[in-house]
Amino acid sequence: MANCGRKACYFFIFIRIKWKPMSTTYNKDMGVGVIGAGKFGLALCNLLAEKHPVKLYSRRQEDVVRFEASRQLRDVTLHDNVTLEADLEHLCNTCEVLIPAIPSDNYPELVQAIQHVINPGHFVIHATKGFIQSNANPDTQSHRPFTVSEYFEQFTTVRRIGMIAGPNLSHEIHQGLPAGAVIGSRFNEVITIGKELFSSDRFQVFGSNDLLAIELAGILKNYIAIGAGITEGLKLGSNARSLYITRALAEIIYIANRLGVSSTSFLGLAGVGDLMTTCQSPLSRNFTVGYRIAKGENIESIIKDSIETIEGFKTLKLIHNEWRYTSRIPIAQVLHEILFDQKDPKSLVDVFMKATGENDVEFAL
C-alpha cells in the first residue's frame, strides 16, 4: 500500500513537471527572426527594427556579401537593428518569434529544414498570402490545399501560429507612409505579441481570432486583383472596376463560406482593405499581371520578367482544380481561361455584367 502511495506521489510530481504551462510571452532579448529577404520581408524587417533587434535569414550567399558591404538588399537600406543570418537552424534556436515572409511554394523546403528545431515554445506569425499544395504525407492526398498555418500544424509541433495581413504594399511601407494590418490567430498571446512587435506611429495593428478567414481573405484576393488589372488594361473605367470588385468579393466569400469561414473578417483589413489596395495599385504584382495580359502579353513573358512570385497564378490553378464544377465562381473560371487557355480578356466583362442575383449583398444574408 505504501508503494502505491509513493508511485502516486511520483506520478503527480511527473505531471507537474511535464505539463508546466508554456510562457505566453517571448524573450525580447533574443530578438525576432524574419525568414525571407524579398521586398515584403525587408519591409517587415525595418518595421520591427524600429523597436526590436531583428535577425534576417536569407539563403542567398550574395545577400550576405552585399549586406556586409552596404547594409542594402534589393535597393533597401536596412535598419541598424537588423543583422543578417545565413544559418537557418541557428536563427530558430536563438529566436522564439519567427516571421516567415516567403512564397508559398517555398514552405515545404522551409518546414523540412526546421521541423526538428522548432518546438511548441516558438511563436510563428507568417506573412504569406498563398496556398500550399502538399503530397508529402499520404494521409493528405485528398486534403484541399493548405494555408500556411495548417501546414505548420500538420508537419511541425508549433501551435501558436498567426498571420499578418492587410493592405501592405512593401514600397509604401519602405517610404514610411501610414498603413495598417491585422494579426490573425486562435491564440490571444500571438495577437498580443504581434501588436507589440509591429505597432508604431505609422503602422496600426488590429487583431482577429478567425485565423483561417484572415488567411483565406489574403489568398483569394490575389486572383481578384488580376481581374482588376484586366479592367484597367481594357480602359473600362472606375465604375466598371468597382462593379467587378464588388461581384468578386461576393465570389471569394462564397468560397470561404463553403470552407466553413464566416464573411465577417472579409469586411475588414484582410478582406476589403486589401482588395481596395491590390485591385487599384500598379504596385500590386497581381494587378500588374492582369494589366499586361489585357495589353496582349502572354504569361510566359510576364513570369520571366517577374522578380517576385505571383501568387495569383497558383491560386487560380488550385481554385480551378477544387471548384471547377460549380457555377458560383464565374470570375475564377473565366480568369483561368484567360490566363491558361488564351481566352480573350474582354470575356471577363461578360461575366460581371451578366451576373444574376436578386440581392446585392448576397453573402451577408
The CA distance from 184 to 271, in Å, is 12
E-assigned strands of 186-261? 203-208
In order of 14, 180, 201, the CA distances from 177 in angstroms are 53, 10, 10
Q: Can you name the residues that pair with 162 across neighbouring β-strands?
A: 125, 185
Produce one character per residue of 323-342: b if its CB has 16 or more CB atoms within 10 Å, e if not: beeeeebbbbbbbbebbeee
Tell me the catalytic residues: 221
Which run of H or of E encompasses 96? Answer: none
Work out whether strand 161-165 and strand 179-185 pair parallel, antiparallel, or are unpaired.
antiparallel
What cell numbers appear for 1 in the block? 500500500
Hey, what amino acid is at 51?
Answer: K
On whether the CB atoms of residues 102 and 41 are closer than 8 A, the answer is: yes
The dihedral formed by the CA atoms of 21, 23, 24 and 26, expressed in degrees to the nearest 10? -170
- Residue 23: Cβ-neighbour burial (10 angstroms; 0-12, 13-18, 19+): exposed
